[in-house]
Amino acid sequence: MDAVTIVSDEVRAVIRQRGIDPVRDEAEVRHLVEACVADYDERSLVRALPPLADASGAVKAVLAQITGFGPLQAYFDDPAVEEIWINEPGKVFVARHGVSELTTTILSASEVHDLVERMLKSSGRRVDLSSPFVDASLPDGSRLHVVIPDITRSWAVNIRKFVTRARSLEDLVALGTLTPQMAHFLAASVAAGLNILVSGGTQAGKTTLLNCLIGALPARERVVTCEEVFELQVAARDHVAMQCRQPSLEGTGEVPLRRLVKEALRMRPDRLIVGEVRQAESLDLLLALNSGLPGMCTVHANSAREAVMKMCTLPLLAGENVGARFVVPTVAACVDLVVHVKLGADGRRRVDEIVAVPGRVEGDVIETGDVFARRGDRVVRAEAMPPHLDRFERAGLDVRPLLAGAWS
């Protein structure tokens, strides 16, 4: 048994004796760990105990085991790590700057189980044989997803860290995700109340881009957000955030995303934000947007035009009485802009195109036009104009010179 393990056991014994809550009393636990490490260091000089090579390193290691996430805590503390996942106890991966790598961390099956229980403790959610999947938020805003056997061979854990590299469209310009002209145009589109769909693949940066678009909202607007689990970081002063709820052990009490979207309409929102649409909740979002309430959401898609097609397909999951003859023109009328973001092979995230949806349908095909499009290795201004120019005018914005490149 090494020195860190001995100190950890001693700290746990004191915590149990004093009735300390490691989650709520982090400062007290840190003071206790520092005292125990100092005491052990003195005892190891006169007794046959394994020595502490580095006292400050031992404090961090013990804190990681007591209040953190044990062997994974170093990856949580590393700002370059964006995602952590466990395929099996001996295979722990991380993604740095969009590029995955196999780590040298090797866990036991019991360690994985203990880590998952610790991560789920703050959320109140559970994972068991009756509910083998779980989505939850960690205290720092990271997103946890777990799948257990017999769905998988061993516990599969995915942690998408909340990495705050960008909080505004200007930050995305600095990172190279947007050009300055695109950023000015998107800010004007948000201020004008256009309905914006953010599309892209997994880990392309959809949620980050949506966060930055929310940051461009007028200060007085009341924002209501609906998510599977809390991921969006909204700085608006008038903001209500809602997340879904799992069913109880008896199978009751579930609150799906469709219910949240419906309830949001009763909360006097000026702007409705849905973290991601995957299923029938897309119909409820379209109905909300069709009533004149501006909104934004994200969707998985390979291109902006495929995102529009997907929005025409997902509402059909709501029931047999929902048909394409209703959905297609509704999508054309409700979606104004599609912003597509891609994760490059170099790990950089870039907006690849911005597509306008003018609202016209020809033979069940929604007309679209490129506002910004990729030409070679650059994204440049294309020929299309955004819809609803009157909304820009009411917001005191002239989008024509902005798109022509004459902005200040």
Q: Are strands 295-300 and 271-274 parallel, antiparallel or unpaired?
A: parallel
Residue 54 CB: number of other CB atoms within 10 A?
Answer: 9
Q: Report the candidate in 328, 399, 390 with the shortest Cα–Cα distance to residue 359.
A: 328
Do 97 and 213 lie in a common domain? no
E strand spans, 89-206: 91-96, 99-102, 133-137, 143-147, 156-160, 196-200
The residue among 54 and 115 whose pLDDT is bigger is 115
Residue finishing a domain among 100, 131, 160: 160
Residue 335 within a domain: yes
Taking the C-alpha atoms of residue 251 and residue 349, their distance in angstroms, rounded to an integer, is: 40
Out of 15-19, 141-145, 194-198, 303-307, which region has the weakest mean confidence (pLDDT)?
15-19
For residue 261, what are its two tokens?
Answer: 């979207």
CATH number of residue 325's parent domain: 3.40.50.300
Do 119 and 247 lie in a common domain? no
Taking the C-alpha atoms of residue 156 and residue 107, their distance in angstroms, rounded to an integer, is: 13
Residue 408 within a domain: no
pTM, rounded to two decimals? 0.82
Do 32 and 147 lie in a common domain? no
Residue finishing a domain among 160, 184, 211: 160
DSSP 8-state class, residue 131: B
Residue with tokens 């997803």: 145
Provide the pLDDT confidence category of residue 1 given band limits of 50, 70 and 90: low
Do 344 and 218 lie in a common domain? yes
Do 58 and 101 lie in a common domain? no
Residue 76 within a domain: yes
User: What pLDDT shows up at residue 408?
Assistant: 39
Please state the length of the chain.
Answer: 408
Q: How many domains does the chain have?
A: 3
pLDDT digits (tens, 9 = 90+) for 104-138: 999 999 989 989 988 888 777 888 888 899 988 88
Residue 45 within a domain: yes
pLDDT digits (tens, 9 = 90+) for 213-244: 999 999 899 999 999 988 888 888 899 999 99
Please give the C-alpha separations between residue 228 and each of 165, 279, 357, in angstroms, as whole numbers. Answer: 22, 12, 27
Domain that holds residue 344: 169-403
pLDDT digits (tens, 9 = 90+) for 361-405: 988 899 999 999 998 888 999 999 999 999 999 999 999 888 886
CATH number of residue 86's parent domain: 3.30.450.90
Mean pLDDT across 244-259: 86
Taking the C-alpha atoms of residue 51 and residue 41, their distance in angstroms, rounded to an integer, is: 7
Taking the C-alpha atoms of residue 45 and residue 54, their distance in angstroms, rounded to an integer, is: 14
Do 196 and 310 lie in a common domain? yes
